[in-house]
């Protein structure tokens, strides 16, 4: 098959593009490199630098494409609170642009990468797809809006659509920006450098951490299965881990004693998150294989930033 992966030079997009290329598919990538790096991509992947709001450029890349994976997005929750207009322009406007270009080019299916953040604070766990979303940030709002646009436009224009709500994905080469870094690479860096692990809130809040290779398995399945049109499907590990327990596990995996420091002046976000994977198992035959302890060890082994620091 021929695929286009938007945001395909990013952390998750590059892992997906490389997997598709390794499976023998023709893979095109478009990325504006605001957060991506084409060095992550296999030589077999056809890379184009560009913006998903540039429809003429999208038209040139969509010829013969059977399925689009739409990952291009801004992804920082704290940043979205400061710059909601930019998040709307990219995450919502960019999604609509991709759908318009797909309609014009005759592409038949899109897989949207959404986020578990759309659930917000819920009274019950695990989080099922039929729960009423309660987004708590402009980022989460933009992802939910993208879901609605994709499903509605897909219905109107005869495009097959599926949205995968990916929870806290992690893995080797996950970006470590100076501000608002994801918790797992941030904790690993702090532990290996002898620093304290700073956690926000009370440290009891839980998240569902899912290894990047497991996410890619779900994404790969979503392109071809026949019974997912108009569906929203969770992709996670199905296990919730508190931030305090994550800190203890990081200490064990790195072999470094750590001192967690609670910063109660900043919110830790929603209190609990755990993905219900019933639908993913039924529709995608998805069963996560890599637990958190093993996943952390793989990050330590495969990411030079941490393997070299450990040595």
Q: Is the pLDDT of residue 215 over 90?
A: yes
> What percentage of the chain reaches a pLDDT higher than 70?
98
Q: What pLDDT is stored for residue 262 in this prediction?
A: 76
- Rounded to 5°, angle at Cα 289 from 180 and 66: 80
For the CA atoms of 98, 216, 294, 306, the dihedral, rounded to the nearest 10 degrees, stands at -50
- Please state, in angstroms and rounded to a whole number, the distance separating the CA atoms of residues 272 and 80: 21
Q: What is the mean pLDDT of the chain?
A: 95
For residue 186, the SS3 value is: helix
Q: What pLDDT is stored for residue 310 in this prediction?
A: 67
- Rounded to 5°, angle at Cα 211 from 47 and 141: 75
Alpha-carbon 63 to chain mean position: 26
Confidence of residue 196 (pLDDT cuts 50, 70, 90): confident
Active site residue 139: yes
Is the omega angle on the peptide bond into residue 46 within 30 degrees of 0, that is, cis? no
pTM for the full predicted model: 0.96
- Please state, in angstroms and rounded to a whole number, the distance separating the CA atoms of residues 311 and 304: 10
Q: What pLDDT is stored for residue 265 in this prediction?
A: 67
Tens digit of each residue's pLDDT (9 = 90 or more) over 233-260: 999 999 999 999 999 999 999 999 888 7
Catalytic residue, candidates 119, 139, 149, 170: 139
User: Which range has the worst mean pLDDT, 47-61, 158-172, 182-196, 286-300?
Assistant: 182-196
| Helix boundaries (H) for the chain | 11-22, 55-61, 77-82, 84-87, 94-105, 138-157, 183-192, 212-222, 243-254, 278-284, 292-302, 304-310
Average pLDDT of span 185-200 = 88
For the CA atoms of 91, 167, 32, 147, the dihedral, rounded to the nearest 10 degrees, stands at -30
Tens digit of each residue's pLDDT (9 = 90 or more) over 89-113: 999 999 999 999 999 999 999 999 9
- Please state, in angstroms and rounded to a whole number, the distance separating the CA atoms of residues 209 and 123: 20
Tens digit of each residue's pLDDT (9 = 90 or more) over 47-74: 999 999 999 999 999 999 999 999 999 9
Asked if 59 and 104 touch (Cβ cutoff 8 Å), the reply is yes
Asked if 163 and 150 touch (Cβ cutoff 8 Å), the reply is yes
Tens digit of each residue's pLDDT (9 = 90 or more) over 104-160: 999 999 999 999 999 999 999 999 999 999 999 999 999 999 999 999 999 999 999
Asked if 61 and 4 touch (Cβ cutoff 8 Å), the reply is yes
Q: Is the pLDDT of residue 77 over 80?
A: yes
Confidence of residue 311 (pLDDT cuts 50, 70, 90): low
Q: Is the dihedral of CA 91, 268, 305, 113 positive or negative?
A: negative
């Amino acid at each position: 098959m021929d695929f286009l992966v938007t945001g395909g030079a990013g952390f998750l997009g590059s892992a997906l593009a490389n997997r598709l290329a390794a499976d023998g598919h023709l893979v095109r990538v478009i990325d504006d490199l605001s957060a991506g790096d084409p060095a992550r991509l296999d030589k077999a992947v056809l890379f184009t630098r560009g913006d998903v709001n540039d429809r003429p450029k999208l038209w040139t890349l969509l010829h013969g494409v059977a399925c689009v994976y739409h990952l291009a997005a801004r992804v920082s929750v704290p940043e979205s609170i400061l710059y909601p207009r930019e998040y709307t322009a990219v995450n919502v406007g960019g999604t609509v642009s991709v759908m318009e270009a797909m309609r014009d080019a005759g592409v038949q299916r899109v897989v949207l990468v959404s986020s578990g953040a759309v659930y917000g604070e819920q009274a019950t766990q695990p989080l099922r797809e039929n729960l009423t979303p309660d987004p708590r940030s402009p980022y989460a709002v933009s992802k939910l809006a993208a879901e609605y646009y994709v499903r509605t436009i897909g219905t109107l224009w005869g495009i097959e659509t599926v949205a995968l709500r990916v929870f806290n994905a992690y893995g080797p080469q996950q970006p470590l920006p100076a501000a608002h870094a994801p918790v797992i690479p941030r904790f690993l860096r702090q532990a290996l450098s002898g620093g304290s692990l700073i956690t926000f809130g009370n440290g009891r809040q839980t998240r569902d951490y899912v290894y990047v290779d497991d996410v890619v398995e779900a994404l790969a399945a979503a392109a071809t299965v026949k019974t997912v049109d108009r569906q929203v499907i969770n992709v996670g590990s199905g296990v919730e881990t508190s931030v305090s327990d994550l800190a203890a596990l990081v200490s064990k995996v790195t072999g470094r004693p750590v001192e967690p420091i609670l910063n109660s002046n900043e919110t830790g976000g929603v209190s609990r998150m755990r993905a219900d994977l019933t639908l993913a198992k039924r529709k995608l035959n998805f069963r996560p294989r890599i637990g958190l302890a093993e996943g952390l060890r793989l990050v330590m082994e495969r990411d030079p930033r941490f393997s070299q620091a450990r040595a």
